[in-house]
Amino acid sequence: EPEVTQTPSHQVTQMGQEVILRCVPISNHLYFYWYRQILGQKVEFLVSFYNNEISEKSEIFDDQFSVERPDGSNFTLKIRSTKLEDSAMYFCASRARQNTEAFFGQGTRLTVV
């Protein structure tokens, strides 16, 4: 069964460092997303990506964040200068069409120390 895969599963980084979180969405999907979940809290939308550009982003997704789809398969989230409060689980998701279910990856747990 096709699935969304994320790497790494856990990343520890020092405050101020750049991190890149990687995702391989399901191959025939057209809509791609990043969400984050601070431990024990709700799932927060960060950004959506469609047709090779950002289609929508939240207020959380400031200039420190960027997304790329560098080739036909990978979808990355970059945090330029990490802060302690960026520590969270980051989920990548993809969907085939609007108003269908989004399939989530296993998540990357980012710990900023």
Partner 1 sequence: AQKITQTQPGMFVQEKEAVTLDCTYDTSDQSYGLFWYKQPSSGEMIFLIYQGSYDEQNATEGRYSLNFQKARKSANLVISASQLGDSAMYFCAFNTGGFKTIFGAGTRLFVKA
Query: DSSP of 3-27, one letter per residue?
Result: --EEE-SEEEE-TT--EEEEEE--T
HSE (side-chain half, CA atoms, 13 Å) at 93: 21
Which part of the chain contacts partner 1 (CB under 8 A), choosing from 18-26, 35-43, 62-70, 71-79? 35-43
51 binds partner 1 (CB under 8 A): no
Give φ, ψ of 11 to 5 degrees.
Answer: -135, 130
60 binds partner 1 (CB under 8 A): no
26 binds partner 1 (CB under 8 A): no
- Contact by Cβ (8 Å): 29, 95: yes
SS3 96: coil
Among 5, 16, 56, 113, binds partner 1 (CB under 8 A): 56
Which part of the chain contacts partner 1 (CB under 8 A), choosing from 15-23, 62-70, 73-81, 97-105? 97-105
CB atoms within 10 A of CB 56: 12
Among 42, 63, 70, 72, binds partner 1 (CB under 8 A): 42
Residues forming the site for partner 1 (CB under 8 A): 31, 33, 35, 42-45, 48, 50, 55-56, 58, 89, 91, 93, 98-104, 106-107, 109
